[in-house]
Amino acid sequence: MAKSYFGNIKDAITTIFEGLAVTASHLIRKPYTVQYPDRIPVRVQDTLPIRYRGILEVDLDICTGCLACERACPIDCIVIVVEKDKQTRQMLISQFDIDIAKCMYCGLCSEPCPTGSIHHTTEFEGADFSLESMIRRFVPEPIYAYKPAKGPETDPRIIPILNRGMRYVNEFAQPGSDKPAEKVA
Amino acid sequence: MSIRTEEMTLNMGPQHPSTHGVLRFVIKADGEVMREAIPDVGYLHRSIEKIAEKVGYHGFMPYTDRVDYVSAMFTNQGWAMACERLGGIVVPRRGEYCRVIAAEFNRIASHLLSVGTMGMDIGAMTPFTHAIREREMINDLIEELCGARLTFNYMRIGGVGWDLPPGWREKALAYLDHFDPIWEEYNALISYNKIYVERLANVGVISTQDAIDYNLVGPNLRGSGFKWDIRKDIPYSVYPEFDFDVPVGTGEFGTLGDAMDRYMVRIREMRESSKILRQALNRIPDGPVLAKVPRNFKPKAGECQVRVESSRGDMGWYAVSDGSAYPWRVHVRTGSFAAMGMINKLSRGLMIADLVTLIASLDVIAPEIDR
């Protein structure tokens, strides 16, 4: 009885020191913790991968008004109003609202977007004082929807935005093919 | 002279730090010994099964993340497999490999959290920080793969949403090289600590027959010495192509089926997952990762039941389709719920301080109990 009693004490002390040796070996290591937000040379947002699903953003310059994102959203946090302008026969987007308070950052809306107009940014600091201000309204005044040009894009203002959008779209898996979709422009 | 004592009713939870979420126990105690602990579940019930009937097959995928937020890859996979069986969709081989890689990384992360909180629940703070550090690196890898750290929404009906990014495979292999020695270090830090072993051994003993009778699954069942793993016994995905063992409890520190056995099964399963990951990352074939599935996915009327081996054990997904774009009924069968049914029996005669050990060793996750 006494032997096992003291044996237990001996075991406890030796195993505790084995554990403490591991802890001690970590004392001289570089810390793993990254101090947030201002103790690293770059912003945290810039260190995140391209696929990171942060707060949604819309590039209205390349939005085709196809409503694919609105249909894909499982919680209906996207509201788009598109109507046809009778005079010019072009699609007119008069409302594009995303309720960031409702959004669950699933990425199902940016997947079917043909141009990469709606996309997740690496921004994640979305705290605000009222629910109303969490609704991002992207259309200040009605604008014409983007119409893809036949052949390569010619508008020099659109090209960089479209390139960025297509780079985002190409990250998603393309059904049935192992090749990424063809690059636009 | 005898002192008159009476039974005391204690309330533990729902906001208790060691109940792994919003769980409540009504404890009837005689001094420090429990007469029984009655689990009270339902605080995290969010009608996930009903939501499926409203959002359709594709739209339900992000909700499955919320069924078990610690191992969301398996819930993703379960739902994707259920839809694929309903619709008769064949997943490309590279897609299956991507699924296995993501899921096994998730299993390691989930077990790390489990063994880390196990130490913290009984008073050892340092192992938790070590486990969380390793989990953080896995989270970084998964973040690069699918853009989220916890609610992955990685899998799609017919494959996965994103292919492996360039250079990710090498990073993952480098992480595994880093992880294998860490496993030994973690064991030296806490697993063989005498005080730790004394706290866990002979606590909450589940006999093999009891484990089967009470429908326990996963590491809880294997901890009682019964070798049952869906990956081996009812193979799905590409698991038959990998060479791995199923660790079972041995009773090396005390009785077979005690808390220490369940803990050691999780520790050993991480090593097995690392083995599967190495094989999968080295053998991953080229090809597409996503099959062609219509956006308006309408499977034929019928029903199906699929089973996946989640980190908390056999997870069953039952779906009934009536031919429309919305499932008629979805049901999820999870391992944590079965484990909660066992707590009342196990708690009789246990010390109050050992209840947290018992809960932690069963590795219950509150949202998975209630869904």
Q: Where exactly are the structural domains of chain B?
A: 48-338
Q: Which one-letter amino acid corresponds to residue B226?
A: F
Each residue of B46-69: pLDDT tens digit?
888 888 888 888 888 889 888 888
Answer for the pair B204, B351: CB distance below 8 angstroms, yes or no: no
Instruction: State the nearest Cα–Cα gap between B294 and chain A, in angstroms.
Output: 10
- Binned at pLDDT 50, 70 and 90, residue B259 comes out as confident
Other Cβ atoms less than 10 A from the Cβ of B45: the count is 11
The reported pLDDT for the residue numbered A182 is 45
Give the residue from A10, A22, A120 with the most B CB atoms within 10 Å of its CB, the best one to mutate.
A22
User: What CA–CA distance (Å, rounded) separates B146 from B165?
Assistant: 9
DSSP state of A20: H
Output the furthest CA–CA distance in chain A (Å, rounded). 100
Distances (CA, A) of B329 to B153, B217, B322, B324: 21, 24, 9, 12
Model confidence at B251, pLDDT cuts 50, 70, 90, reads confident
B136 contacts in A (CB within 8 Å)? Answer: 32
What is the C-alpha separation between B228 and A173, in angstroms, rounded?
A: 35
User: Phi and psi of B121, rounded to 5°?
Assistant: -65, -35
Considering only the beta carbons, identify the residue of A12, A21, A108 that sits closest to B58.
A108
Give yes or no for a contact between B310 and B75, defined as CB atoms under 8 angstroms apart: yes
pLDDT digits (tens, 9 = 90+) for A71-81: 888 888 888 88
Residues of B in contact with A106 (CB under 8 A): 61-62, 151, 153
* pLDDT value at residue A14: 86
What pLDDT does A184 receive? Answer: 41
Mutation site for B-interface testing, chosen from A50, A78, A106, A121 by largest number of B Cβ within 10 Å: A106
Question: Shortest CB distance from A171 goes to which of B162, B193, B295?
Answer: B162
SS3 per-residue string spanning B187-250 = HHHHHCCHHHHHHHCCCCCCCHHHHHHCCCCCHHHHHCCCCCCHHHHCCCCCHHHCCCCCCCCC
Assembly ipTM: 0.81
Per residue in B318-353, pLDDT (tens digit) is 999 888 888 898 999 888 888 888 888 888 888 888
Spatial contact of B73 and B64, defined as CB atoms under 8 Å apart: no
The band of A185, judged by pLDDT with boundaries at 50, 70 and 90, is very low
Mean confidence (pLDDT) of chain B: 86
Q: Where do the structural domains in chain A lie, given as residue ranges?
A: 48-148+158-171
Q: Is the pLDDT reported for residue B224 higher than 50?
A: yes
Query: In the structure, what pLDDT confidence band is assigned to residue A183 with cuts at 50, 70 and 90?
Result: very low
CATH annotation of A48-148+158-171:
3.30.70.3270
B315, two tokens: 């997870």
For residue B149, give the DSSP letter. S
Average pLDDT over residues B250-255: 82
pLDDT, mean of residues A24-28: 85
Is the model's pLDDT at A181 over the cut of 50? no
Cα atoms found within 13 Å of the Cα of residue B163, Cβ hemisphere only: 27
Judged by DSSP in three states, A159 sits in helix
Fold of B48-338: Cytochrome-c3 Hydrogenase; chain B (1.10.645)
What is the per-residue pLDDT across A126-179, written as a single tens digit (0 to 9) for each?
A: 888 888 888 888 888 888 878 777 777 777 778 888 888 888 888 887 776 555
**Facing residue for A173 by CB, picked from B144, B159, B195:** B159
Q: Which of B290, B339, B243, B326 is nearest to B41 (CA)?
A: B339
All residues at 6 or more sequence positions from A158 whose CB lies less than 8 Å from its CB, including other chains: A61, A62, A146
